[in-house]
Homo-oligomer: A and B are copies of this chain.
Amino acid sequence: MVNSFGTRVSPLSVPERLLLGPGPSNSHPLVLKALSNQPVGHLDPYYIDLMAEVQGLLRHVWQTDNRLTLPMSGTGSAAMEATIANIVEPGDTVLVAIKGYFGNRLADMASRYQANVKKIERSWGQVFSIEELKEALEKYRPTVLALVHAETSTGVCQPMEAIGDLCRKYDCLLILDTVTSLGSVPVHLDNWKVDLAYSCSQKGLSCPPGLGPFTMNKRAEEKLNKRKGKVPNWYLDVSLLNQYWGSDRVYHHTAPVNMNFGIRESLRLIIEEGLENSWKRHSENANYLWDGLENIGLQLHVDKNYRLPTLSTVKIPEGVDGKAFSMHLLNNYGVEIGGGLGELAGKVWRIGLMGYNSQKNNVDRILNLFDTELSKFKS
């Protein structure tokens, strides 16, 4: 069939993929089933109850009591922007601790909201020490510190001990990116004294991309309430969203109802497994992957102490065309792995074991492919 603008349209036929890259990951089959329900109205009493359930479930996986916890109606990047848009006022000093691609993005976003952006940087694959953060807080006295817990671009997990206390000492709000940790790596927002956090639906939560979990605590709410002007972003304005997701249920925008069916199911499945069991499963399968990769002579990019169970960066051996190898896996085996970004472009592959895909048989599959196929790409 060809339409009047010359576009050919054949019936949809999606190829089967095993998604072992940086995300999206495969979804749990029950989440896909939930997605395919007929929608209900966004002001339907059934949906209003479901909203409250999703909020409660998100609080659980984040280990927070924050009242303002909700899925933004966009992807993780929208939720990231929501943290900045709501609490940054023009002229605020925002310190961004950059150790990968997503730190840079936070800095770009903050500058668009007219922050006075200060950066501290570590090379891609490293973490920040508490001393480095303290020195920077002392030097810049920022209103906000933005930090990535789990850097999808490097496979690093930032230790969080003492950072929250430090931020409170310096009267600074702490934004934490938990995009590649929520549901799959221990996250204790309240214990860590994190003020705002965001995540995505398509990694540890085993749901397709399209929702961006967002949360902010009372300290962050106070900053929002004291703003001089309106939040300069209507769609992500939490003071408006609060009227819809809070007790008033005032219409803001038409919620992505089916995506919310999906995330509710994905969160329910985490509770069913047990949050700590999910963390443990991710840790075990990651260790199994790391050992297996080393056994076939490959090296991991990140020091074992700081490795992220959900995303592993593997050094591309000398002489191997990393891109050609990953395209070979995709085209001939339907298995997706990722390449490096930024400083790590051409240097690493990124292997994800996230949510539903963190399974021993998937590790066996990818190890077997590295074992049998990689030699074909060595010069």
Contacts and interface: CB of A to CB of B under 8 A. Distances in A.
B5 A75 contact: no
A78 B230 CA distance: 17
B76 A253 contact: yes
A267 B1 CA distance: 12
Contacts of A11: 268
A42 interface: yes
B38 A35 contact: no
A159 interface: no
Chain A contact residues, majority secondary structure: loop
A81 interface: yes
Contact of A78 (B8, B65, B113, B235): B235
Tell me which of A12, A17, A105 has the highest count of chain B C-beta atoms within 10 A of its own C-beta: A12
Given A75-B73, A209-B256, A265 B230 contact: no
A108 interface: yes
Given A35-B35, A109-B234, A271-B9, A3 B75 contact: no
Interface in A23-50: 23-24, 26-27, 32-42, 44-46
Contacts of A4: 60, 275
Tell me which of A14, A17, A76, A336 has the highest count of chain B C-beta atoms within 10 A of its own C-beta: A14
Interface string A49-80: 00001001101100001000000011111100
A307 interface: no
Contact of A259 (B112, B232, B256): B256
Given A60-B3, A77-B254, A34 B12 contact: yes
Contacts of A114: 232
Interface string A203-234: 00000111000000000000000000011111
A40 B209 CA distance: 10
Contacts of A320: none
A84 B1 CA distance: 35
A285 interface: no
8 contacts: A5-B60, A7-B53, A9-B57, A9-B268, A12-B261, A39-B209, A45-B330, A112-B233
Q: Which 10 A-B pairs give the minimum distances between C-beta atoms?
A: A7-B56, A210-B256, A77-B253, A36-B36, A208-B258, A14-B37, A32-B36, A74-B74, A3-B60, A5-B60
